[in-house]
Amino acid sequence: MRKEIARTAVPANIVNASMYEIPSAPRVARSGICPVCDCTASVPAFTSPDFLHGVPGEYTYVSCQQCHTVYQDPKIVVADLSLCYPDAYFTHSVPTQTSSAPSLSSGWRHQLRNAILIHADGAQGICESPVIRVAGRLLAAIGPMRRRARFGLMDALGRKQGESRCLDLGAGNGMTLRCLSRLGWEATGVEIDQVAAEQARRFSGCDVRAGALSDAGFRSGVFHMIHVSHVIEHLPDLKQTLELCFDLLAPGGRLVLIYPNPNSLLARRIHKFAVTWDPPRHLVIPPSDSLVSLLRRIRFDRVRSETSARFAVPYRAVSRRYVRGIAARGFEAKAQMSDHLFKLFETLCVMAGFAVGEEVMIVAHKR
């Protein structure tokens, strides 16, 4: 990771010029335009330090008056984005939960997993045991069992007949890539962070290309599925990246997006202390309906969105620590009973049709 910045002349639009001489402090520049809808009208949302890792500075967020996207303005200068990701950032970690990666054994567990995937996703394979075949059909109708068979991956990431190639944009430490590969995908990753890319390459055994998606060298229409989990909020060029994803998808292919929900129950209750915002790393956090509209303008079809409360417990536990003034200690925090009760309430709200889960999940298809 880059630890310092060159001391050159400070551009005229740099706001925190006094910070420019501090090696670990990123520069920011005014934008004045919504990265989702291009509206120039906004209202202040909040100003916050980096609660997670303690990157120096105070970072200001505004809310677009047209589409209500929350975005950073002034925004981190692209050349200094690496200063926001210290060595302790999670993408540099070596995955320890290797038990969540699929087993390649030929035992009954493996046969049952295959039976579930055959019925859930139409995956290729033959189940010789009538008992396991029936059990697979029954378990495939249960959401948690389907996800367990995919090693925690959501339904939209299952490989269907005729599909082969997928891309994990923002491969992190390679855990998702490894699971996708074991599910039968010909999985490729892209990771902007050189250290994380090397870690993902070693752990997953997949092709992981370091750098930006625009420089990865893929040809148009090559992927049947593109997975983008907790990445779009970090992008300085959100629209261009989504347009490139559209180009890289094969006809009928799907884009799977997961990102923090700016309208989550936690964000509504404790505002700037919510993990949702993660300044200064999160640059843009659009409401689900705003991002759905953008995807449709890009010509994606069959766009559907939902929210999930799956991470409500750790999100609230960490956010409680921020409220108490305990910061710069990473993402680990001890959960309390109140955090579990909060998740239960949020889950019930989501089940009732309220889009207040901690994550937005969007699936969009190329025509």
What is the per-residue pLDDT across 210-219, written as a single tens digit (0 to 9) for each? 999 999 999 9
- With pLDDT > 90 as the criterion, what percentage of the chain qualifies? 64
Find out whether 224 and 320 touch, Cβ atoms under 8 Å: no
The answer for residues whose C-beta is within 8 angstroms of residue 59's C-beta and 6 or more apart is 28, 47, 48, 49, 50, 72, 76, 279, 280
Which pLDDT score, from 0 to 100, does residue 162 have?
86
Please count the other Cβ atoms lying within 10 Å of the Cβ belonging to residue 4. 9
CA 352 to chain centre: 25
* Ramachandran angles phi, psi of 225, nearest 5°: -155, 140
What is the per-residue pLDDT across 229-258, written as a single tens digit (0 to 9) for each? 999 999 999 999 999 999 999 999 999 999
Which whole number is the average pLDDT over 66-71? 98
pTM equals 0.86
Query: In what helix (H) or strand (E) does residue 261 lie, and over which residues does it extend?
Result: none
Which pLDDT score, from 0 to 100, does residue 328 have?
67
**Residue 298 is encoded by which pair of tokens?**
């890009």
Instruction: Indicate if the pLDDT at residue 24 is higher than 80.
Output: no
Nearest to 280 by CA among 101, 35, 41, 29: 29
Cis, peptide link before residue 144, omega less than 30° from 0: no
- Tell me 79's DSSP state: G
**Residue 22 is encoded by which pair of tokens?**
């501090």
List, in sequence order, every beta strand (DSSP E) within 156-240.
165-169, 186-191, 207-210, 223-229
Q: For residues 351 and 330, give the distance between their C-alpha atoms in angstroms, rounded to a whole number.
A: 31
| Residue 331 banded pLDDT, cuts 50, 70, 90 | confident
Burial of 324 (0-12, 13-18, 19+ CB in 10 A): exposed
What is the per-residue pLDDT across 32-56, written as a single tens digit (0 to 9) for each? 999 999 999 999 999 999 999 889 9
